[in-house]
């Protein structure tokens, strides 16, 4: 039994030989319900009871078998992050709450499982005042917005920000980060008209809809009309939208790519890059250690506590995850988070 924050947690479920999980059997296969062996802690690791595990586009990309950095031929448990409660650890007090990152593989289950084994360096204590579900929801998505804009893009007060792919969770968070950190003008770009209009309530000054088969130069004209010369571009689309955005960039603009939803290639004229002295870079959270994300996570969690960050979150059970997985493939414009039923072990949520 664990006692934490005046609450007691029975662990009868944890003593079972197997724990419930979602499993992807092969590249391209849809996830299914199943079970895996209860994790056995080894030195340098912590066993965490998963409370809230976000579903990220990264999880679908890896499972598809087409992701550029990982492909798993054998069955594995997906899931890249979670918030949970420590069960066993040499570093963290049992019963304490943590944010965890996992690199799921056939040899190392991800976070869509009742309890997960995590390397100690991939854990950060979750502040007591942070809602566990929201704290998990802004992890991967929030750092993918904050770090490219603030740390890589070097956003300065008064500058103009263009967010390509602004209607997804990362884009919505990026709009709010840009506004709250002093951007002079913030413009969101995307395909869904209704979702774009909602960005105006999150801090966007203007939005630009993407039109099928529109010539790049015409889109560039519309981007300039909405934003003026752009100082920082957060690019989640690549392809033709990026080509147009480069034309709308101011001299010395910084462009950070985080995805390629509009295509895997783009034409980047050398003369344009040199004449405008553009800085082009990329950011991948998967290849960024958790310790490098601490500043971003602290900012995001503090914004949540101060009610300065809005995010639509849809919670589902582990049994509902396969359906939510299919919904995620069609860009639901909301963050799906798997919340585990802890009734058998008397875990309460939200925390008191």
Residue 191 lies in a domain: yes
Same domain, yes or no, for 13 and 115?
Answer: yes
Q: How far is the C-alpha of 18 from the C-alpha of 84, rounded, in Å?
A: 18
Residue 157 lies in a domain: yes
Q: How far is the C-alpha of 187 from the C-alpha of 177, rounded, in Å?
A: 12
Q: How far is the C-alpha of 188 from the C-alpha of 172, rounded, in Å?
A: 9
Q: Which residue range(s) make up the domain with 65?
A: 2-138+311-345
Residue 346: pLDDT over 60 = no
Residue 293 lies in a domain: no
Same domain, yes or no, for 80 and 49?
Answer: yes
Same domain, yes or no, for 265 and 323?
Answer: no
Same domain, yes or no, for 59 and 168?
Answer: no
pLDDT at 69: 78
Q: Beta-strand (E) ranges in the chain? A: 2-4, 7-9, 18-23, 32-37, 45-54, 81-88, 97-101, 115-119, 123-125, 160-164, 185-190, 206-209, 230-235, 249-257, 279-282, 313-316, 335-339
Backbone angles phi, psi at 99, to 5 degrees: -100, 135
Q: For residue range 296-337, what is the model confidence (pLDDT) as tens digits?
A: 999 999 999 999 999 999 999 999 999 999 988 887 888 999
Look at the chain and report how many structural domains it folds into: 2
pLDDT at 352: 40
Residue 92 lies in a domain: yes
Q: Per mean pLDDT, which range of 63-72, 145-154, 338-347 is the poorest?
A: 338-347
pLDDT at 193: 94
Same domain, yes or no, for 8 and 127?
Answer: yes
Q: For residue range 218-261, what is the model confidence (pLDDT) as tens digits?
A: 999 999 999 999 999 999 999 999 999 999 999 999 999 999 99
Residue 117 lies in a domain: yes
Residue 201: pLDDT over 70 = yes
Residue 291 lies in a domain: no
Same domain, yes or no, for 275 and 194?
Answer: yes
Specify the CATH number for the domain of residue 120. Answer: 3.90.180.10
Q: For residue range 45-69, what is the model confidence (pLDDT) as tens digits?
A: 999 999 999 999 999 999 998 887 7
Last residue of a domain, one of 270, 286, 302: 286
Q: What share of the chain is helix, strand, coil (3-state, %, to 5)?
A: 35, 30, 40
Residue 29 lies in a domain: yes
Residue 325 lies in a domain: yes
Same domain, yes or no, for 160 and 185?
Answer: yes
Same domain, yes or no, for 88 and 151?
Answer: no
Same domain, yes or no, for 124 and 153?
Answer: no
Same domain, yes or no, for 114 and 173?
Answer: no
**Percent over 70 (pLDDT), the chain:** 92
> 258-284 in b/e burial notation, b at 16+ Cβ within 10 A?
bbbbbeeebeeeeeeeeebebbeeebe
Same domain, yes or no, for 261 and 187?
Answer: yes
Same domain, yes or no, for 271 and 319?
Answer: no
Last residue of a domain, one of 235, 251, 286: 286
Residue 351: pLDDT over 50 = no
Nearest Cα neighbor of 51 from 108, 4, 107, 17 is: 4
Burial class (CB in 10 A: 0-12, 13-18, 19+), 21: buried
Q: Do residues 204 and 166 lie in contact, with contact meaning Cβ atoms separated by under 8 Å? A: yes
């Amino acid at each position: 039994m664990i006692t934490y924050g005046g609450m007691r947690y029975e662990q009868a479920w944890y003593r079972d030989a197997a724990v419930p999980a979602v499993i992807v059997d092969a590249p391209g296969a849809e996830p299914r319900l199943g079970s895996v062996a209860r994790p056995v802690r080894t030195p340098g690791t912590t066993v965490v009871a998963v409370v809230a595990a976000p579903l990220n586009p990264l999880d679908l990309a890896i499972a598809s078998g087409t992701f550029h950095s990982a492909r798993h031929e054998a069955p594995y448990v997906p899931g890249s992050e979670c918030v949970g409660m420590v069960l066993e650890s040499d570093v963290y007090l049992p019963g304490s709450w943590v944010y965890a990152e996992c690199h799921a593989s056939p040899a190392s289950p991800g976070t869509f499982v009742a309890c997960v084994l995590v390397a100690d360096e991939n854990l950060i204590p979750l502040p007591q005042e942070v809602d566990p579900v929201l704290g998990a929801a802004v992890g991967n998505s929030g750092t993918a917005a904050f770090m490219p804009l603030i740390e890589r893009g070097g956003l300065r007060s008064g500058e103009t920000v263009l967010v390509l792919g602004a209607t997804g969770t990362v884009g919505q968070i990026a709009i709010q980060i840009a506004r709250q950190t002093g951007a002079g003008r913030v413009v969101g770009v995307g395909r869904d008209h209704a979702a774009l209009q909602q960005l105006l309530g999150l801090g966007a000054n203007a939005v630009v809809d993407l039109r099928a088969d529109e010539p790049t130069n015409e889109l560039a004209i519309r981007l300039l009309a909405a934003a003026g010369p752009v100082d920082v571009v957060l690019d989640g689309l690549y392809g033709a939208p990026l080509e147009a955005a480069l034309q709308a960039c101011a001299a010395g603009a910084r462009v950070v790519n985080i995805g390629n939803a509009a295509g895997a290639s783009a034409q980047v004229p050398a003369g344009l890059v040199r004449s405008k002295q553009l800085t082009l870079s990329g950011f991948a959270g998967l290849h960024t250690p958790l310790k490098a994300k601490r500043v971003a996570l602290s900012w995001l969690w503090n914004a949540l506590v101060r009610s300065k960050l809005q995010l639509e979150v849809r919670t589902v059970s582990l049994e509902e995850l396969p359906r939510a997985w299919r919904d995620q493939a069609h860009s639901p414009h909301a963050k799906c988070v798997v919340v585990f039923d802890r009734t058998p072990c008397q875990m309460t949520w939200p925390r008191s």
